[in-house]
Amino acid sequence: MAKYLQRVRQVPRSQLNGKNKTRAINNYTLPVIRYPAGIIRWPKEEIHTTDVRTRKLLTMHGGFHPKSSTLRLYASRKEGGRGLVSVRATVQDETSKLHEYIKEKDPTDDVLSECLRQWGTVDEALEQGPSWEDKPLHGMYHRTITEVADLKKSHQWLERAGLKDSTEALILAAQEQALSTRAIEAQIYHTRQDPRCRCRLCKEAPETIQHITAGCKMLAGKAYMERHNQVAGIVYRNICAEYGLETPRSKWETPPKVVENDRAKVLWDFQIQTDKIVMANQPDIVIIDKGQRKAVVVDVAVPSDGNIRKKEHEKLEKYQGLREELERAWKVKVTVVPVVVGALGAVTPKLDEWLQQIPGTTSDISVQKCAVLGTARILRRTLKLPGLW
C-alpha cells in the first residue's frame, strides 16, 4: 500500500494530460496492487480507504471535483467516464481470475485442490450497483441529451481532446450539476435562503449551469461571442488553408471581412446585400468556390446541450431566404451548413456530415474541444471558482 500511494502521489504532479494521468495510475500504479492481489488476504476496509485516499489526492490537485460522481470516475471514457480503475476492482479482478485458474487445474493437482478446499468460496464478482446515468442529479445531463445527441460522439472529447485533468473534472462536474450555482445551493444543498436564486450577473433567471453556460444575457455579448468566434475561427482557418488563402496569425485575431484569390472568395461575418430583403443576411462564413461554381453558407452556434438539434434546424431554416437570393443573384449552387456544438460538448449525429460539406478538413473533435474549452473558461470566470474549483 505504501508503494502504491507513493506512486499515486507522483501522478498529479506530472505534466501529463487528464487521460494520460488516469492511464498512469492504471498502468504504473495499480500493478503494485495487482501483483499480490488474490494471494495475500486483503482487508476490505483497507481497500476502501486506499480508493478514498486516491480520490482525495486527485481532488487536492484539481483532478476530481469533490461533489462529482465517483461511479463516473471509474466508468470508461467511451461511456463518458474518466476511465480510472479502482483498487477494489483490481483486487476483485485478480482474485476471481486466480480462482478460475485454480478451479480449472484443480482435478489434476492435489495441492491446488487442497488450496481451493481451504479457501472456501469467494465473494462473487463485482456486484452491479446503479450506474451514474441513473442518479437523479449526476445523470440529469445524460438523460437530457440522450434524445438529441449522438452519445458516443458527445463523449469523444474525453478520449481524444487531450485536455488537462482539471478541465475534464470541471466540465464533468458541470454536467453533473456538482458545481455550486445559486440554484443548486438553494435547492440541493439548502445553504441559500433566497428561493428565487437569481443569476449573479443578470439577476433575472435562476442561476443554473445551463443558464451560465448558454443562457445569460450578460455573457452573450462578450463571453459567448468569444467562444462562438473561436469555434467559427477553426472552420474558417481550415477553409483558407484549403484554398491557399492567407489565414489570421493567431487564433485570437478576428479574420478580415473578405479574403479572395483566383480560386475562392471567403466572407467572415459579412452583411450581404440582396435585391429582395432577407432577415438573416449575415452568416458567420460564406465561401464562394469559383472553380466549382458553388457557395456554402456556414453558421455556428454553441447552445445549451439539450437544444442542439433544435438549433441545427433553426439555423438551417433561418438562411433559406438568403440561399434562394444568392442562387438567383450569383447563379451558383448554394448550400447552408449549420455547425452546432453543445456548450458542454454534446453533438448531434449529423455534425460530421455537415462538416464534410464545408471546404477544407474540419474534424468534429476540434470544434467540440474548442467549445468545451470556451465553456470551461466561462465557468471559471463566472463562478469565481475558489482555488482549483
- Which residues of this protein are in contact with Zn ion, per CB under 5 A? 199, 201-202, 216
Per residue, the 3-state secondary structure of 101-138, as one string, reads HHHHHHHHCHHHHHHHHHHCCCCCCCCCCCCHHHCCCC
* In the complex, least distance from residue 179 CB atom to Zn ion, rounded to whole angstroms: 15
**Of the two residues 216 and 308, which places its CB atom closer to Zn ion in the complex?**
216
Cell of 130: 446503479
* In the complex, least distance from residue 199 CB atom to Zn ion, rounded to whole angstroms: 3
Residue 40 DSSP label: B
**Of the two residues 16 and 202, which places its CB atom closer to Zn ion in the complex?**
202
* In the complex, least distance from residue 222 CB atom to Zn ion, rounded to whole angstroms: 13
* In the complex, least distance from residue 216 CB atom to Zn ion, rounded to whole angstroms: 3
**Of the two residues 1 and 202, which places its CB atom closer to Zn ion in the complex?**
202
**Of the two residues 201 and 332, which places its CB atom closer to Zn ion in the complex?**
201
Stretch (H or E) spanning 265: strand 264-268
β 294-301/285-289 pair status: antiparallel
Distance CA 142, CA 319 (A): 31
CB 154 within 8 A of CB 175: no
* In the complex, least distance from residue 215 CB atom to Zn ion, rounded to whole angstroms: 7
**Of the two residues 11 and 199, which places its CB atom closer to Zn ion in the complex?**
199
* In the complex, least distance from residue 203 CB atom to Zn ion, rounded to whole angstroms: 7
Helices (H), the chain: 2-13, 18-24, 31-34, 44-60, 70-73, 87-105, 110-119, 140-146, 151-154, 156-160, 165-175, 182-184, 209-214, 217-219, 225-243, 308-318, 320-330, 351-356, 364-382
**Of the two residues 163 and 378, which places its CB atom closer to Zn ion in the complex?**
378
* In the complex, least distance from residue 389 CB atom to Zn ion, rounded to whole angstroms: 20
**Of the two residues 58 and 216, which places its CB atom closer to Zn ion in the complex?**
216
Cell of 221: 455579448
**How many residues are present in the chain?**
389
| Bridge partners of residue 336, in order along the sequence | 297
